[in-house]
Chain A
Amino acid sequence: MHYFISPVLWQFLVNWLTHFALFPPEASSIAPYADALYFFLILISLVGMALVLALVTGFSILYRKERNPEATQIEGSTLLEATWTIIPLALFMVCFVWGALLYFRIYNPPTNAMNIYIVGKQWMWKAEHPGGQHEINALHVPLGRPVQLTMISQDVFHSYSIPAFRVKREVIPGRYTTVWFTATQPGTYHLFCTQYCGTLHSEMIGEVTVMKPEEYQAWTEGSTSGMSLAQNGERLFASLGCNACHSGNAGARGPNLAESYSTRVQLTSGSYAMVDDAFLRDSILNPTMHTTAGYAPIMPTYQGQISEEGLIDLVEYIKKLNTNYRVQQTLNTSQIQSPVQNQAQSPVATRVQQPAPAAPAGVKP
C-alpha cells in the first residue's frame, strides 16, 4: 500500500491510526468523575441533536411542496411549547447540579493534602516543594496522595492546567489560588499554561511526573537544595528584621506569630479573620489591610522588597512556627552580626529583591 502514496503521507496515516485519541489519559482521582459528566453531556447532546435532526428532516420530507402543496396554518401549541421548555430546563438543571458537585470536588481540597507552591512567570512554571526541592516547568508528585497546589503569578494571568488530571486553575498576580488532585496512574503528563500570557505562551509548558511512593521518596531526597522553604523563610525573617517586633515577647510591638496559622484573630475593626496563606501574604505586603486588634498600625510595607518565592518561604516559615525560642535566639545573634553581613553570607539574599531595610532602631533585648 505505502508504495503508492508518498512516504510522508504514509507515515502520517500510520501515526494517526496508532495515536488517535479522543480522550486524554485518566490519571487522577477526579478524572473519572469529570469523564462521567462529560459522557452524560454528550448523551443529552446526541439525543437533542437527533431529535432536532429527525424533526427537521422528517418534516422536510413529509411537508415538502411537491408532497404538500397546501400549508395548514397553525398558531402554536401551549402544551407542546411547555413540553420543550420544561424538559430541556430539567435536563439543564441536572447538568447544573452535577457540574456544581464536580466543581466543589475539584476546588475543595482534603485537609490531609500535601502542599506544593507554584509560582508562574512569563514564561515558566516554578514549583517549590516544602522540603526545598525547586523545579522549573516540571512537577513531581507521589502516586495516591492528595496534593494541593498553592499558586501565584509574579506578573500576568497564567493558568495551570493538567488535562490528564482534568484540573485547571487561573494563576493570578497578587493572590493565591489553589487546586488539588490525587494522581492515580504513574507516568508523565502534559502541563500547560492555558491563559494567554504573551509572546511565548505556547512554550510555558512542562511535565507532571507521577511517581510511585518509594521512587518519589528517592527523588525527594536526591533533589533537595538542602534548605527547606521554612528554613529559607527563617533566614529571611531574620534578615528583614521581622523578629524585632514579632518576637513573641509580652511587650512586643507586633503580634506573636507562633502557632498563629489557621487560627482566627480579631482585627482592629472588630471583625475576625482566618490566618491563612493569603492573610499572611497580605499582612506582609499591605500591613494596614488587616491590623490585629491591640497593635498599632506601625508595620512598614514590604511591597516590592520580597519576591513571590520569598513570600512563600515566609508563609511556610510562619506556618510551621510552633515556638518563639528560635525567633528570640536569632534576635540575639542579629544584634551581634550586622544584618548586612548576615545577608551577604546567606543564600537567602537572592530571595530579597532589594537590600533589606536596616534593622529598626530601638530593638528590645
Chain B
Amino acid sequence: MSTIVMLPDQQTASLPKRSYLNEEYGLKSWLLTGDHKRIAILYLISITIFFFIGGFFAGMIRLELLTPPSDLMAADTYNKMFTMHGIIMVFLFLVPSVPATIGNFLIPIMVGAKDLAFPKINLLSWYLYVLGGILVLAALTLGGVDTGWTFTTPLSTHYLNTHVITAGLAIFVAGFSSIFTGLNFIVTIHRMRAPGMTWFRLPLFVWSHYAASVLMVLGTPVLAITLVLVILERVIGIGVFDPAKGGDPLLFQHLFWFYSHPAVYIMILPGFGVISEVISTFSRKRVFGYTAVAFSSVAIAVFGFFVWAHHMFIMGVSNYSALVFSLLTMLVAVPSAIKIFNWSFTLYKGSITFETPMLYAFGFIGLFTIGGLTGVFLGSMGMDIHLTETYFIVAHFHFVMVGGMLMAFLAGIHFWWPKMTGRMYPEGISKLAALTTFIGFNLTFFPQFILGYLGMPRRYAAYPPEFQVLNVLSTAGATVLGVGYVLPLLYLAWSLKYGKIAGSNPWQATGLEWQIQSPPLTTNFVETPVVDYEAYDYEWLANKTKHEVQTVG
C-alpha cells in the first residue's frame, strides 16, 4: 500500500466565478449573514483585534518587568494590565480562537453539510461575542479592572472599586456565545453528516471539536452562575462567598475552576484537531491510530471535568480530596501523551514536506510536550506547593496555551487560508515568521520556569533584583515573539490581493473541504456528497486525481 500524490499545477488554477465571498456585497450582507463561513470570517477579524489588544497589554507587562522596581507604571496600573491581558486573551481570544473561526468555517463542510444546524444562533453567538467584547472595552476605557482574570473572592467582591461588574457581565455574555457555538457543533455533528459519513470516517478535527463542544455546553453555565454570584455579592451583598455572613470564599474557587479547568481543554482540544489534520496532510499518511486519537479527545473531555481542585492544593482543602484530584490529574495527562506519540508516528514512513503549517505543527509538538510535562510537575501535589502561584505556573500555562494553542491556531490559519480566501500565503516569509515565533516564544517563557523555581511570585509589579537577568531575557524574547505575530498579520493581508491563486486542493489533502472549490460556494457543495472512503484515505485521493486527469485528458 503506497501512495504518491502529485501537487496540482497551480499556474493553471483560477479563482471560481461564484463563491461565498462574492455571493452578496455590502456591510449588511455580512452583518446579517447566516453563512457559517462569513460568520467565521467575522469571528476571525474580531478575535484578531482582541488578540492584538491583549498582546499590547502583554507587551506592557514585559516592559514593566524589565527592571525590578515598579517604575514604568504604578502597581495599580500594572495590576490592570495583567488583568486585562488575562481576560481578553482567555475569554475573547483563546476560547473562541479555533472553534469559532476555523471550526465554524470547516465543521459543516467536513461533515458534508450546507451549514451549521442553527445558522441564526451562530450569528447570534457572534453578536454576543461582540457585545462581550464591547463590555470588556467599556470596562477598560472606564478605568480598567484589577481583579486578575480569576476574580478571586473576597478581593473581587469587597475590596476593589474597579469595574468588576462590567467585566463580569462581559464574560457572562461572551460565555453564551461559547455555549451557542458548542450547541451548534454538537447538533451539526450528530444530525447533519452526509450519507456515508460515519462517526469513524469523521476527520479528527471534528472529533476534537465535538469533545470541546461538550465541555463548552456543560462547563460554561457554571462560570456564568459564578459570575452572577460575584455580581450579586457586590451589588446586594448576598454573602455566598463572605465568611462574615457564613459564606465560604473557597466555594468561589471550586466553582470558578470547575469551569476554568475544563476551559483549558476547550482551548486546546480544537488545537489538537488542527494538528491531526496538518500532520496527516504533510506526511501524506493516515493519522497513526485514528481511534486512539479520537477517543483520547473524548477521554480528555471526560476526565477534564474532574480535576479542578488541583488548582487548590495549597488552599486548605482536605489532604485526601487533594489526593484524588492529583490522581485524576495524572490520568488526564495520559491521553495527551498518547496524542503526541501518535502524531510522531504518523510521520513514520510518510512522505514529508515542510510547508509553514507543518512547521507550526512541529513547534506545537515540541512546546506542548514541555507544557504537558510541566503540568505533571504541578499535578504532583508536593511539588505543586512550591511551584504554584509562581512564574512556573505562568510559564506552564503559556507553553500550553501560547506554545500549544496559538501555534495550532497559526498552523490552522495557514493551512486553510487557501480554502478560506482562495489564495496562497507567501511561503518564504511565513516560514520565517514560524521560526521567529518559535525562537521568541522559548526565549520569553523558558526563563520563567527557572524564575518560578527560584520562587518569583506571579502578578508582582516589583520583584527582588536577583531575578532581573531572567526577566530581561523574557522581555527580550517577548519583542521577538511580537515580531513573529505581526508578520502573519501583514503578509496574510497582503496575500488577499497578491497571493497566488490556490486552486481547490493545494495540499492534496483528503478532507471533504478540499474536494470543493476555494473559496467555497455559499452552499458549500453543489450536490450532497456521498462519502464512501475513510478519513485520511490518500489512495482514494490518488485514484480520484488520476480519474480526473483521465477525464480531462
Contacts and interface: CB of A to CB of B under 8 A. Distances in A.
Contacts of A198: 79, 146, 155, 159-160
A68 B385 contact: no
Contacts of A104: 319, 382
Give the interface centre of B323, B330, B333, B340 by most chain A CB atoms within 10 Å: B330
A335 interface: no
A73 B1 CA distance: 6
A61 to B, nearest CB: 9
A190 interface: yes
Given A173-B154, A175-B243, A19 B454 contact: no
Interface stretch (B166-174, B278-286, B437-445, B513-521): B278-286
Given A65-B352, A95-B376, A96-B330, A173 B369 contact: no
Interface string A163-202: 1101111101111010000000000001011111111111
Contacts of A214: none
B389 A106 contact: no
Contact of A76 (B288, B381, B384, B457): B288
Nearest to B283: A71
A85 B352 contact: no
Given A41-B383, A157-B155, A73 B469 contact: no
Contact of B3 (A70, A95, A164): A70
Interface residues of B, number: 98
A352 to B, nearest CB: 17
Interface of B: 1-4, 70, 75-76, 79, 146, 148, 150, 152, 154-155, 158-160, 243-244, 246, 248-250, 283-286, 288-292, 313-316, 319, 322-323, 326-327, 330-331, 333-334, 337-338, 340-342, 344-345, 347-354, 362, 365-366, 369-370, 373-374, 376-377, 379-386, 388-390, 450, 453-455, 457-464, 466, 468-469, 472, 538-539
Nearest to A173: B243
A190 B330 contact: no
Given A45-B370, A49-B370, A72-B1, A64 B342 contact: no
A49 B338 CA distance: 14
A322 interface: no
A92 B376 contact: yes
Interface hub of A45, A104, A195, A304 (most chain B Cβ within 10 A):
A195
Contact of B152 (A98, A157, A166): A157
Contacts of A107: 319, 385
A22 B453 CA distance: 8
A196 B381 contact: no
Interface in A50-95: 52-53, 55-56, 59-60, 63-65, 68-77, 80-81, 84-85, 88-89, 92-93, 95
B316 A63 contact: no
Contacts of A196: 79, 148, 150, 152, 155, 458-459
A6 interface: no
Given A76-B291, A168-B314, A286 B246 contact: yes
A77 B369 contact: no
Contacts of A172: 249-250, 315-316
Given A37-B382, A65-B352, A70-B351, 11 more contacts: A22-B454, A24-B454, A34-B382, A41-B376, A48-B369, A63-B352, A73-B285, A81-B338, A92-B334, A156-B158, A169-B385
B373 A100 contact: no
A-B pairs with lowest CB-CB distance, top 4: A102-B382, A163-B455, A174-B243, A99-B380
Contact of B2 (A33, A73, A195): A73
**Chain A: number of interface residues, binned into ranges:** 35 or more
A336 interface: no
B466 A73 contact: no
A203 interface: yes
Contact of A190 (B322, B381, B382, B455): B455
A37 B378 CA distance: 12
17 contacts: A21-B454, A37-B380, A63-B283, A63-B349, A64-B351, A69-B4, A71-B350, A72-B349, A81-B289, A96-B379, A107-B319, A161-B457, A164-B455, A175-B243, A194-B389, A195-B152, A203-B462
Contacts of B373: 41, 44-45, 48-49
A12 to B, nearest CB: 8
Contact of A63 (B70, B351, B366): B351
A174 B350 CA distance: 61
Contacts of B353: 64-65
Contacts of A55: 341, 344-345, 347
A101 interface: yes
Given A22-B453, A196-B152, A198-B155, A99 B286 contact: no
Contact of A59 (B146, B291, B350, B464): B350
A122 B76 CA distance: 14
A3 interface: no
Contacts of A272: none
B464 to A, nearest CB: 7
A177 B453 CA distance: 23
B450 A70 contact: no
B154 A156 contact: yes
B351 A69 contact: yes
